[in-house]
Amino acid sequence: MTLDEFLEACRRLADEAPARIALAASPAEFADVRTQLVGRKQGRLADLMTQLATLPPDARRDAGRAINDVKSTIEQLLDEREASVRAATRADGALDLSMPSRRRWKGSLHPVTLVIDEIAEIFRELGFTIALGPEAETEFYNFTALNFPADHPAMELHDTLYLGEDTLLRTHTSPVQVRTLQQYAPPVRILAPGNVYRRDFFDATHAPSFMQLEGLAIDEGISFVDLKATLSEFARRFYGSTRRVRFGPSYFPFVEPGAQMDVEVDLGDGKGVRWVEILGCGMVHPNVLSAAGVDSERYTGWAFGMGPARIAMSRHGIPDIRVLYDSDVRFLEQFAR
Ligand code: DAH
């Protein structure tokens, strides 16, 4: 082989290389074409190296420079092309075996759902069943039957969202008491979870829609002692037997006397254990029993209402109610069991 023939062979290799390189699309194909073109032991460049040794000594300097140029040109082309293919493969979502696998999100129940389930289980053990009522209610069920006097300020207090003349989004789950008593004769023991609505803006402690849990127990001879015993037992099971419970007076039109139950809890905010109001309760007002068609001379009973979101927040030290509505998986996955 003459020097000219050698230089010509180098040029041909340089000319052919781009087309060959353009065909490679995977890491394996790039490895193949790299070996074929510029491999040390075999391939086109290795062949030329063997030829180089056969050239006359005075031709080797030029031949050596030419072959080095070809080698670095091809290698540079291979590197650039391989990098851009790798980048494009990622961008358009095709298989990239070097990519770390996608993380699997573990589904979980919402912390408020978990609280409701847990409370429902405790009351199930105490003989309560679940009752549900509609979220769109009438003034009768939401207010009148619950002994709210007409134009009572409490109706405004509740910041009602009206749907029409007489229809509204229930402001509490208490109407389920009336609907249940209309449908079933005592003895009645029910727990009614559900959404309620109030004309509120979202802030750290308020939401325009939230969950409530209503409880109702009606039978012959039920007294305030039953109320205290049952709700204390609930608190003991939910918060643990070391937590203290206390009852204090409160007012709701549908109970007489009305009360609230406080539990000594640690909110996890560094302020230690303190009294926190957990629920409103009381002896069902005779007017409510009558409105529901129950003989208020024969039957008595008690009721309570609580907010599971508040309870979830106090339990987990959640400072802002809005995170319960965000559906942020980073928050929710912490409750996966
Ligand atoms: N309905 C009340 C509210 O939304 C909560 C409540 C208080 C329910 C006392 C009751 C009760 O059944 O006895 O604020």
Six-digit token string for 139: 């003034």
The CA distance from 303 to 326, in Å, is 32
Confidence of residue 82 (pLDDT cuts 50, 70, 90): confident
CA distance 64 to 162: 91
Q: Whose CA is nearest to atom 6 of ligand 1?
A: 305
Q: For residues 188-213, give the mean pLDDT.
A: 94
172 lines ligand 1 (CB under 6 A): yes
Going from the Cα of 317 to the center of ligand 1, the distance in angstroms, rounded, reads 24
Q: Is the CB of 142 under 6 A from ligand 1?
A: no
By most ligand atoms within 8 Å of CB, the mutation choice from 172, 256, 288 for ligand 1 is 172
Whole-number Å distance, alpha carbon 258 to ligand 1 midpoint, is: 9
CA of 188 relative to ligand 1 center, distance in Å? 18
Using the structure block, give the residue that is written with the tokens 């092309």: 81
Q: Strand 161-162 vs strand 245-250: parallel, antiparallel, or unpaired?
A: unpaired
Which has more confidence, 92 or 191? 191
Measured distance CA(287)–CA(31) in Å, rounded:
87
- Is the pLDDT higher at 168 or at 333? 168
Report pLDDT digits (tens) over 22-57. 888 888 888 888 988 888 888 888 888 888 888 888
Can you tell me the distance from the alpha carbon of 253 to that of 144, in angstroms, rounded to the nearest whole number? 10
Ligand 1 atom at shortest distance from the alpha carbon of 177: 12
Alpha carbon of 268 to ligand 1 centroid (Å) = 27
> Who wins on pLDDT, 271 or 62?
62
Report the pLDDT averaged over residues 276-291: 97
Task: In whole angstroms, give the CA distance from residue 158 to residue 140.
Answer: 15
Q: Which amino acid is at 124?
A: R
Of 174, 191, 302, the residue with max ligand 1 atoms within 8 A of its CB, to mutate for a pocket test, comes to 174
Domains of the chain: 3-91 (no CATH), 111-335 (3.30.930.10)
Q: State the DSSP H helix or E strand holding residue 333, giving kind and residue range, or none if neither.
A: none
Q: What is the DSSP string of 87-122?
A: HHHHHTT---TTSPPPPPPPP---HHHHHHHHHHHH
Q: Is the pLDDT of residue 87 over 80?
A: no
**For residue 256, how far is its CA from the centre of ligand 1 (angstroms)?**
12
pTM summary value: 0.70
* Beta carbon of 302 within 6 Å of any ligand 1 atom: no
Interval 303-326: pLDDT, tens:
999 999 989 988 888 889 999 999
Tell which atom from ligand 1 comes closest to the C-alpha of 174.
Answer: 1
Q: Which of 202-206, 222-226, 291-295 has the lowest mean pLDDT?
A: 202-206
Cβ atoms of residues 108 and 335 within 8 Å: yes
Residue among 211, 138, 146 nearest 169 (CA): 138
The residue that leads in pLDDT, 170 or 47, is 170
Ligand 1 pocket, 282 CB below 6 A? yes
Task: State the pLDDT at residue 230.
Answer: 97
